Amino acid sequence: MQKISKVTTIKISVSLICIILALASVLFVAPIAEDTNYYEATNNQLDKERSLILGVSASLMGLSMLIAAVPDDITTPVANQITQLNDYLVLAIVAIMLEKILLPVFGMLTFRWLIPIGFALIILSVFEEYIRYRGIGIRIIIFSILLTLLIPSSARLAAIIDENYGFSGMIERIQEDIENTSINSDEAEAEDTSNWLDKILNPGETIKKLANSFVDKINAILSNLMDAVAALIITTCVIPIGVLILLLMIAKGVFSIIITRFSIPEPPKVKELLPSNAIGRLKTNSSSKGLEKPNNVHKISKKEETL
């Protein structure tokens, strides 16, 4: 009886703790998590990523216009292919806007609905017939907490990568290179007009030098732009997915630890309270009683025959 009363006390205390935590989640934490001002640092980082994407898009358009400005239609297909890279940047902008919208939605969904539902299932699992709901409730609570940490953690990781590799500075340098390329081409034309005698004597070599320098600059700018586009796609699309997978793996490990170490003890069964000798006697008595039934039936059948 002492063990049973101890189990009952544990169940009551667990139920009271779950009720207090659920009320605190709904009344105190949910209003804070629903406020967009609470996510000011995350929103600033997302706005910074959005400005970087717009800068890369403007650089792509400037590079395509610079390539298309070459006489004749030889470079027009290349300019069109560069312009099509903006389609990938649209995907990154959509991901950023979706993250900004989901920040308060995840906070509201977690602390106003999912966490109270998880605690309610844990309270329900206090009863033996509903004990299977304990694991479901713990899973819901862990998943909801990780859901709120998904976007801020991915934004922070993107900020750390930007600080280490300097993507914002790379985009500024790309824009300067595009401007310098157009300026240098105008200066080259001015030098060619001033040195008209050299142009008449060696026209092919002069054109070849200008073309090679122009192509080298375009290749350098294009390679930097490709790196910037890949980096932005990684920081806006790939990193959130990777962070989600990592958090789910952590949740799986935490859930197994909670289930094995902090599980509510179950009440002892009747077989555990009885000694082994008593269980053996009960089995023999039940078997002997089971064997007596056919004999009685046989005796009754013989009396019926005599009658």
What gap in Å lies between CA 226 and CA 238, rounded to an integer? 16
Question: Per the structure block, which two tokens stand in for 145?
Answer: 């907490």
Amino acid at 130: Y
The rounded Cα 151 to chain-centroid distance in angstroms is 7
User: Helices 133-165 and 40-68 sit at what angle, rounded to 10 degrees?
Assistant: 50
- Match 């329900």 to its residue by tokens: 124
Residue 88: name the closest of 242, 243, 236 by CA. Answer: 236
pTM exceeds cut of 0.75: no
CA distance 290 to 205: 113
Pure H helices in the chain: 2-24, 30-34, 40-68, 76-83, 86-109, 115-124, 133-165, 167-194, 196-201, 203-233, 239-261, 270-273, 276-306
As given in the structure block, the two tokens for residue 23 are 């009320």
Q: Which residue in this structure is represented by tokens 């002069």?
A: 206
Domain boundaries, the chain: 2-183+229-268
C-beta separation of 60 from 82 below 8 A:
yes
Would you give the DSSP letter of residue 128? G
pLDDT digit string (tens) for the chain, length 307 residues: 445 577 788 888 989 999 999 999 999 999 999 998 899 989 998 998 888 888 888 888 888 887 777 766 667 777 788 888 888 888 888 888 998 999 999 999 999 999 999 999 999 988 878 888 888 888 889 889 988 998 999 888 888 888 887 777 777 777 777 777 754 444 444 444 445 555 555 555 666 666 677 777 778 888 888 888 888 888 888 888 888 888 778 777 766 666 555 554 455 554 444 555 554 555 555 555 444 444 444 444 444 444 4
Q: What tokens were used for 253?
A: 């490990």
